[in-house]
């Protein structure tokens, strides 16, 4: 069985984490979703492109989460989440192709 692409994992983490937090009103639960998928993506990167790439892309993933908050004040919550998710997924795809 082929591993799940990291772009799918980061997308599930960012969008899923936000959706869970918003739907349930439970931000820690949304954070748990974000963390779980982030950990899975880290392991995918560690096994593929290597530890350095895994650390760098995990920084991008966490940074995207952080960036979504101030960006949401300018463009709205969903557009912010979708924008940072698209950028993170694009970097994940690029890293796995190298």
Query: pLDDT tens for residues 81-97?
Result: 999 999 999 999 999 88
**Taking a C-beta distance cutoff of 8 angstroms, is the pair 85, 64 a contact?**
yes
Q: Which pLDDT score is estimated for 38? A: 98
Q: Which pLDDT score is estimated for 98? A: 67
Q: Which pLDDT score is estimated for 96? A: 87
What is the sign, positive or negative, of the torsion defined by CA atoms of 38, 39, 41, 45?
A: positive
Q: Which pLDDT score is estimated for 97? A: 85
Eight-state DSSP code of residue 26: -
Q: Which stretches in the chain have pLDDT values below 50?
A: none
Q: Which pLDDT score is estimated for 76? A: 97
- C-alpha–C-alpha distance, residues 41 and 59, integer Å: 12
């Amino acid at each position: 069985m082929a591993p799940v692409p990291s772009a799918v994992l980061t997308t599930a983490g960012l969008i899923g984490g936000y959706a869970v937090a918003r739907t349930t009103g439970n931000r820690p639960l949304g954070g748990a979703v974000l963390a779980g998928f982030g950990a899975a993506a880290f392991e995918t990167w560690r096994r593929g492109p290597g530890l350095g790439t895994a650390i760098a892309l995990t920084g991008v993933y966490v940074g995207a989460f952080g960036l979504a908050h101030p960006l949401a004040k300018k463009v709205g919550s969903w557009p912010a989440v979708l924008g940072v998710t698209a950028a993170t997924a694009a970097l994940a795809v690029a890293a796995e192709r190298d």
